[in-house]
């Protein structure tokens, strides 16, 4: 078993969040089953009062989940490695957890944040209007979240319980074992760097244009939102792959060190935080931008508010994308200007 005060903080935050979610579940179930907004009878008024309580509990659970997720990433990238012999960054920590365990942990945490973010946006939208027209939909969404929160908590415990602090890991071997030949190292999924760079440029331009179009458009454009979602879904993996396999070389100043976690280290100026932070913002806001108008289409007033929120989401995506591009690409451009060649020749 692996022990660290930070792990204690992460698990405590997750438990409190789960308790809050469970406490709100019963009211959410009642709300989902018996919500009658046109009626002013005692059951409906009682549900309205209790739904407000669930909203507060849910918000507290949301911020606790965000807090625990940030601590988890901070711990994996910068803190836990020092307790595991041979681990130099998050790769070593993940290796110590077992690759499957760490992947599951990150997936569950991501899924939980995604669902909670959507619920939080819906709840915010709901509270903007005096009639709270989205209460029943948010209640249904709320009912899904505790299940994922349980899985996340269980996986956090299982992953860290699996670490044997005295058993050394070989951090770099994990990174370098990904390829056996130099040709292999220069390709991603069998396709060369040139293909991925081209794909990244095309998709970045497309995403940027669509985000700007959605940000400036005064009318509803569901088609563009759909296209934006597709491009976002393509851009995120392509951006991650090109970052780790191509652009990271200019941060590390070493070729073929395809490590996604070393970017978080202080020796690389902690660039992983803004870079992955930008990817997180684009992912979350992209999801919100696509889902929110679909879930809030019952009422014209709330739909308009949802569209306003979509414009803000497009705005955030634009800024996050610019931040990502600047931080990811700038070292490569500086290298090219300084040495006259690209690192890969």
Q: Give 53 or 237: the residue with its C-beta nearer to another protein.
A: 53
Binding piece for another protein, criterion CB under 8 A, among 51-59, 142-150, 320-328, 330-338: 51-59
Tell me the helix, strand and coil percentages in the chain, rounded to 5.
80, 0, 20
Q: Give 172 or 202: the residue with its C-beta nearer to another protein.
A: 172
Q: Is 7 in the site for another protein (CB under 8 A)?
A: yes
Q: Is 266 in the site for another protein (CB under 8 A)?
A: yes
Q: Is 3 in the site for another protein (CB under 8 A)?
A: yes
Which of positions 154-213 make contact with another protein (CB under 8 A)? 165-166, 168, 170, 172
Output the six-digit token pair for 299: 């009422």
**Least distance between another protein and beta carbon 47 (Å):** 11
CB 323 within 8 A of CB 274: yes
Helices (H), 217-299: 222-242, 248-252, 272-295
Q: Is 72 in the site for another protein (CB under 8 A)?
A: no
Distances (CA, A) of 106 to 141, 151, 164, 202: 21, 11, 20, 29
Which residues, other chains included, contact 56 with Cβ-Cβ below 8 Å and sequence gap of 6+? Answer: none
Q: Which of 11, 19, 52, 236 binds another protein (CB under 8 A)?
A: 52
Nearest to residue 288, comparing CAs of 204, 214, 213?
214
Q: Is 87 in the site for another protein (CB under 8 A)?
A: yes
Q: Give 78 or 152: the residue with its C-beta nearer to another protein.
A: 78
**Least distance between another protein and beta carbon 42 (Å):** 5
Residue 174's H or E segment, with its range, is: helix 171-176
Q: Give 87 or 239: the residue with its C-beta nearer to another protein.
A: 87
| CA separation for the pair 287, 239 (Å, rounded) | 17
Nearest to residue 275, comparing CAs of 209, 212, 330, 234?
330
| CA separation for the pair 101, 107 (Å, rounded) | 10
Q: Is 56 in the site for another protein (CB under 8 A)?
A: yes
Q: Is 299 in the site for another protein (CB under 8 A)?
A: no
Q: Which of 19, 23, 30, 86 binds another protein (CB under 8 A)?
A: 86
Binding piece for another protein, criterion CB under 8 A, among 84-92, 100-108, 207-215, 325-333: 84-92
Binding piece for another protein, criterion CB under 8 A, among 130-138, 146-154, 238-246, 273-281: 130-138
| CA separation for the pair 80, 90 (Å, rounded) | 8
Residue 264: strand, helix, or coil: helix
Site residue total, another protein (CB under 8 A):
35
**Least distance between another protein and beta carbon 222 (Å):** 29
| CA separation for the pair 268, 209 (Å, rounded) | 31
Q: Which of 11, 23, 83, 255 binds another protein (CB under 8 A)?
A: 83
The beta-strand segments (E) located in 108-206 are 187-188, 191-192
**Least distance between another protein and beta carbon 214 (Å):** 28
Binding site for another protein (CB under 8 A): 3-9, 40-42, 45, 48-49, 52-53, 55-56, 78-79, 82-87, 127, 130-132, 165-166, 168, 170, 172, 266
């Amino acid at each position: 078993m692996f022990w660290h005060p930070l792990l204690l903080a992460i698990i405590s935050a997750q438990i409190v969040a789960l308790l809050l979610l469970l406490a709100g579940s019963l009211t959410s179930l009642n709300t989902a089953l018996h919500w009658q907004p046109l009626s002013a009878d005692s059951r409906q008024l009682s549900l309205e009062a209790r739904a407000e309580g669930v909203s507060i509990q849910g918000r507290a659970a949301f911020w606790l989940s965000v807090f625990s997720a940030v601590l988890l990433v901070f711990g994996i990238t910068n803190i836990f490695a020092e307790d595991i012999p041979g681990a130099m960054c998050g790769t070593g920590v993940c290796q110590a957890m077992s690759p499957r365990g760490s992947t599951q942990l990150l997936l569950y945490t991501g899924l939980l944040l995604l669902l909670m973010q959507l619920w939080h946006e819906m709840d915010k939208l709901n509270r903007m209007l005096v009639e709270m027209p989205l209460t029943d939909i948010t209640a249904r969404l709320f009912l899904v979240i505790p299940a994922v929160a349980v899985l996340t908590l269980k996986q956090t415990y299982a992953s860290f319980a699996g670490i044997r602090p005295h058993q050394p890991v070989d951090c770099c071997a994990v990174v370098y074992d990904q390829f056996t030949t130099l040709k292999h190292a220069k390709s991603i999924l069998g396709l060369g760097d040139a293909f991925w760079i081209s794909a990244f440029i095309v998709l970045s331009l497309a995403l940027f244009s669509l985000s700007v179009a959605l940000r400036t458009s005064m009318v509803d454009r569901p088609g563009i939102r759909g296209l934006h979602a597709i491009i976002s879904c393509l851009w995120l993996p392509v951006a991650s792959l090109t970052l780790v396999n191509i652009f990271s070389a200019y941060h590390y100043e070493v070729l073929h060190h395809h490590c996604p976690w070393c970017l978080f280290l202080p020796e690389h100026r902690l660039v992983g935080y803004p870079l992955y932070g930008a990817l997180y913002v684009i992912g979350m806001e992209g999801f919100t931008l696509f889902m929110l108008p679909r879930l809030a289409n019952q009422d014209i007033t709330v739909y308009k508010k949802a569209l306003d929120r979509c414009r803000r989401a497009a705005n955030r995506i634009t800024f996050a994308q610019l931040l990502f591009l600047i931080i990811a690409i700038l070292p490569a451009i500086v290298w090219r200007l300084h040495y006259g060649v690209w690192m890969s020749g």
